Amino acid sequence: METQSAITPTASSGLGRNRHRGWLWLLVGFLGLAGGWFLWSRFQQDVVPGAIAAQSTTVETETARSAPVKEFSEFVGALEAQERVMLRPEVEGRITQILVVAGDRVSAGTPILQLSPDRPAAVVSGAIADIEVARASRSAAQAEILEAEADRDSAIAERALQDTEYQRTQSLVDAGALAQQSLDQVARNRDVAIAALAAAERRIQTARANLAEARASLSRAESNAAVATEDLSDYQVVAPINGVVGDLPVKVGDYVNIGQMITTLTSNQTMDLRLSIPVERSNELRAGLPVELRTQEGLDPLVTGRISFVAERVEAGAQSILAKASFPNPDGQLRDEQFVRANVIWDESPGVMVPTTAISRVGGQSFVFVMESATEGDSEFVAVQRPVQLGTIDNNRYHIISGVDTGETIITAGILRLSDGAPVTADNSTSAN
């Protein structure tokens, strides 16, 4: 049995036309895709540069300049006033007056407080009375000497008269004009005059001895009075130096003992700071080295002083050398026992300093971004990430040992948004304000 085809000539012709239409639509689709790709490419050539420019990061910059780089070591400690005393009474007694208040600025010799002086005052009065008695005795002795000297002068004159009378009478007796009895009378008178002169000399000696004793008594009385007065002055506590009065923990009526601390007196015109310098720095340590003083890390120095003392021996336990730095304090901004940081400047040389905000770290390596002119693309500048070697930090700036040269433009803000080669635009208006 044979099977005949069901396809007629008319059906075959319709199938051929359908195949031609499929190829036609495929060609049209292909041409549409090609045209679309061509238009998209032209559009991208116009749009991409603007997009790139829009992605440029705004940053702040700073030109790297040469600045003094200090080699220093930091120390911490408490300041000490060069002049500071603790006032303690040298006698015991009850406080009758407090003549100052805490915080008063006083000069040397200013009375601080008074203790009850009743007993020493009585001793002083007795010593003054003894002085008056001794002075009266001295005056009496001086008057006695004057009287004795006058008697001696009279006795000398009488002796001279009696000698003359004796010689004249002896001549007359020898000539037979007078009897021997007259010569004996004259001789007796001369002996009386000699005895009177000797007595006057003895009275003078006695008066001089009395005067010496009176003078010694006066000297003792004056010494006793001076001691009594000194003892009396001990009952008044006075300022030994110029300074500021500290806290006064006592009050009127309190009884204080010898050596009990009453208050402190401090002069802050010059401050000292003790420094324990490692023995390894002994060859560099010398008097006159500059020392910068700060109260907090990163702040500007309050004042610059100098090393004023270097010990001759090494502290055995710590293997350090004691040094003292002195700081002027005319404005009183430094205080006794104030905790401070001190930088001993060993050396100073020129170098490049950059802000700490310009430093980034990746895997232990420090980097900075340097703004350089772009060699390709439409951006004017790009950020170039450059490794650097850091030195010391001073006043929030790092010393760059290597990696950056003077005159290069360093990006100081906005570095977290950057990568190597990223386009950047400088805007320093914020930092300028």
The whole-number pLDDT of residue 328 equals: 92
Strands (E), 279-335: 290-294, 303-315, 320-328
* Helix/strand/coil for 408: coil
pLDDT in tens, 292-338: 998 776 567 889 999 999 999 998 888 899 999 999 988 888 888 89
CA neighbor of 237 nearest in space, from 83, 126, 86, 84? 86
d(C-alpha 326, C-alpha 303), whole Å: 10
pLDDT in tens, 41-89: 554 444 444 444 447 888 889 888 888 778 888 899 999 998 889 999 9
Quick one: average pLDDT of 393-409?
A: 85
The whole-number pLDDT of residue 24 equals: 65
Helix or strand run (H / E) with residue 366: strand 365-373
pLDDT in tens, 331-362: 888 888 899 999 999 988 888 888 888 999 88
Query: What secondary structure letter does DSSP report for 344?
Result: E
Angstrom distances, CA of residue 2 to CA of 5, 179: 10, 236
Q: How many CB atoms lie within 10 A of CB 71?
A: 16
pLDDT in tens, 251-263: 999 999 988 999 9
Percent of the chain with pLDDT over 90: 25
The whole-number pLDDT of residue 12 equals: 42
Position 10 pLDDT exceeds 50:
no
**Which distant-in-sequence residues (6+ apart) come within 8 Å of 368 by Cβ?**
354, 358, 359, 360, 385, 386, 388, 400, 403, 404, 410, 411
The whole-number pLDDT of residue 37 equals: 60
Position 11 pLDDT exceeds 70:
no
pLDDT in tens, 266-281: 988 899 999 999 999 9
Range with the lowest mean pLDDT among 14-28, 183-197, 395-409?
14-28
Q: Which CATH number fits domain 57-66+351-426: 3.40.50.300, 3.40.50.880, 3.40.50.1820, 2.40.420.20?
A: 2.40.420.20
d(C-alpha 162, C-alpha 164), whole Å: 5
Are 50 and 224 in contact, with CB atoms under 8 Å apart?
no
The whole-number pLDDT of residue 41 equals: 57
The whole-number pLDDT of residue 52 equals: 45
Instruction: List, as one string, the DSSP characters of 179-200.
Output: -HHHHHHHHHHHHHHHHHHHHH
**CATH 2.40.30.170 matches 267-349:** yes
Quick one: average pLDDT of 122-146?
A: 78
The whole-number pLDDT of residue 14 equals: 47
Angstrom distances, CA of residue 10 to CA of 3, 13, 19, 23, 152: 20, 5, 15, 21, 196
Cβ burial 141-151 (10 Å sphere, 16+ → b, else e): bbebbeebbeb
The whole-number pLDDT of residue 232 equals: 64
The vertex-266 CA angle with 263 and 272, nearest 5°, equals 135
Are 325 and 73 in contact, with CB atoms under 8 Å apart?
no
CA neighbor of 371 nearest in space, from 329, 335, 413? 413
Quick one: average pLDDT of 367-387?
A: 86
The whole-number pLDDT of residue 321 equals: 93
139, β-bridge pairs = none
Inter-residue long-range contacts of 213-219, CB under 8 Å, 24+ positions, other chains counted = 213/137, 213/141, 214/134, 214/137, 214/138, 214/140, 214/141, 215/138, 217/133, 217/134, 217/137, 217/138, 218/131, 218/134, 218/135, 218/137, 218/138
Identify the band that residue 127 occupies on the pLDDT scale cut at 50, 70 and 90. Answer: confident
Q: Which residue has the tokens 């008697």?
A: 151
Which CATH architecture describes the domain 91-115+236-256?
A: Beta Barrel (2.40)
Position 20 pLDDT exceeds 70:
no
CA neighbor of 348 nearest in space, from 297, 284, 403? 284
Quick one: average pLDDT of 389-402?
A: 83
Helix or strand run (H / E) with residue 387: strand 381-387
The whole-number pLDDT of residue 308 equals: 94
CA neighbor of 347 nearest in space, from 423, 275, 298, 399? 399
The whole-number pLDDT of residue 431 equals: 54
φ and ψ at residue 337, rounded to 5 degrees: 65, 20
The whole-number pLDDT of residue 310 equals: 94
Range with the lowest mean pLDDT among 214-218, 291-295, 365-369, 385-389?
214-218
Query: What secondary structure letter does DSSP report for 330?
Result: T
d(C-alpha 321, C-alpha 344), whole Å: 14
The whole-number pLDDT of residue 166 equals: 81
The whole-number pLDDT of residue 252 equals: 92
Q: Among the ranges 117-126, 195-204, 256-265, which has the highest mean pLDDT value? A: 256-265
φ and ψ at residue 314, rounded to 5 degrees: -95, 135
* Helix/strand/coil for 43: helix
Position 220 pLDDT exceeds 90:
no
The whole-number pLDDT of residue 104 equals: 92
More confident site: 408 or 177 = 408
Angstrom distances, CA of residue 429 to CA of 26, 61, 156, 182, 226: 61, 10, 117, 140, 79
The whole-number pLDDT of residue 201 equals: 85
